[in-house]
Structure 1
Amino acid sequence: MSRNIENNKKKFLAFDLHVDTLQRVLDENVDLATYSQIGHLDIPRMRQGGVAAQFFSIWVNPTQFPGEKAVGRSWDLINALKKQVSLHPDKMRLVTCASDVIGAVKTGRIAAGMGIEGGHSINGNIDLLEAFFQAGVRYMTLTWSNSNEICGSSGDKGYDQGLTSFGQEVVKLMNKLGMMVDISHVSDRAFYDVLKLTTHPLIASHSNLRRICSHPRNLTDQMMWDLADEGGVCCINFYPRFLDDDYHQFNNYLGRRVSDGIAIVREIYAHDLEECLKAQERVCEIELSRLPKVSYKKVVDHIEQAVEIAGIDHVGLGSDYDGIAVVPRGLEDVSKLQIIAKELSQRGFNSESIKKIFFGNVMRVFSAVSN
């Protein structure tokens, strides 16, 4: 098994814990087996990038699909992945435990897992959590950018709210079932509430370091230490807004400029909807073009410093491909993934360490929880 993981045509095989590609599969009828230059990920490009195992996010926009609609949309996304697996059984295998991943790698298929991003998908109904588990879901991010019945989010006014009593029951059931608890997006207080309660290692499926980028969604050094002490893993996100503090701060500033520009455009073209929409698009393009360019090396900066803080056994990959509008230069899609291994090697990481970051650390936690 170690030889398979270390080298597939001289590539480090990767276990990426988070992509949002199922939105494209469901809404755009994308076939994962077909190579495309649209989006960030498909099977041919995963092969090029060395991806051996991939967790697909079951993410539902809570504004577009509130309440029970979120539940229905979640089932649609789950079924979309299962359909892809049934269409391409020679290329993909649905995995629900670590031994399934090993079996997929040995037979040359991509191990495809599922994780719910945002506890609003269970709509306050704990029975749905078990139903999703039975359907094959193996992790749940307790919240997205919206606070919910489970806990506060780092992305809204619930940033100072912790785990609710319902949230405590959710975490306990996830531990009992063998479902990984994901603390990406949660408030700092919720992170520590979960840490005190869980009996299994935690994952941060797509999170970065606050010491490098001050976005409140990122983890502090203390959080990284505590996550590692409990055996968990932090998987580094590729979104420039979470990677680079200049980008993050300038993005906030440009967001205000875009809002002001759109308000002016709407006033000018109040009686011409078509021209108004075109002008709004131009405003967005002009302002967003001002954002600083972020290199793939910033991803490696986060990995390197995460290892410095938490240790080599507690860092992984959680690209967030197809869930982010902007990617770092050099990581335009999943086919470019090996550039991270090359840069790590140039910075002094040996093959065993790179194997842990690319595959082994996530595999260890998945094995510990699912078994």
Structure 2
Amino acid sequence: MAPDLIPALKAEAARLGFAACGVARADAAPLAGERLRAWLAEGCHGDMIWMEARADERASPTRLWPEVRSVIALGMSYAPAEDPLRLAGMPAAGRISVYAQGADYHDLIKRRLKELARWLVGAAGGDLKVFVDTAPVMEKPLAEAAGLGWQGKHTNLVSREHGSWLFLGAIYTTLDLAPDASGAARCGSCNACQAACPTGAFPSPYRLDARRCISYLTIEHKGPIPREFRARLGNRIYGCDDCLAACPWNKFASSAAANLAFAPRAELTAPMLADLLALDDTAFRQVFAGSPIKRIGRDRMLRNCLIAVGNSGSGDLVAAALPHLDDPSPVVRGAAIWALNRLDAARFDEERTRRLSSEADETVRSEWEARPYSAALASISSR
């Protein structure tokens, strides 16, 4: 193997827009599989059955592809130019996680990975495979093993240069490449990320219970948002940046280093809840074309928006919620009922009298049968 291959590889990765690149042996994260199995056994993955179904392949690169010898871990910065938490005091607007305000990172990173892969084959040969998020690959422990950073107490990768704002991808190759030194944990006694979590999704440092995570609840979870978490969602309608934004290492991250392809779309930086609730399925697909948000579908997005409406405290948004009492989707109807219950008790009682007897869905009936909301009964306040 040419001694200058790794520097040339990293230079090419940088040319393609990757802010970080490192190499690890395929067996460099031996504890990752054991930790994954323990996490799954505790049920912390919630409805993400796909993680359980391919756990063996996910546990180790060689389980997925026995011929792999080295892993090239890559990171692309999406450090935001604005404060990700700035909309917390604007309840009529929906908060979309920073990573989803621009183009779908899966598509862009996979294209760049394939370009780098072609370069590597031309320079050194070998066979390879490229992965971005959707394959059974544990990108974060592999990125740590390759020296890109370390898994923080929020379980995401933290970089000394890029904070908590890195998209990750990987290239598996049959080449025996010289590995980089593994990343070393530098969180120390800091627990800012855990303290920032609105739903207490971190039972202990370096451990996430996805069932309590707002990103999981608003993106992966298909049914009604569990009652205990609804008020805590505030106006977060897609994902949550709180634990990432709290990381002190972000002070070294520069938005100038972020890939320009991830620049936020103006209409997604502070979308009005009333506007989003007016979208039918066709309009939803048009607004979110090219966005990762499109994958959750219109029903889940409207569910999230209606929970945010219920948390807004604004009677002006009742009119936006009312049409969804007749929505074909039970998950949308149920969220609309909850929002009405929170905002207008008298109208809630009126609509319940008219609608409860004809409602066939049990989960929706349970929303009508809930006690009328009052601030005195609320045990949890939105942040």
Could you tell me the TM-score, scaled by structure 2's length? 0.25
Could you tell me the TM-score, scaled by structure 1's length? 0.25
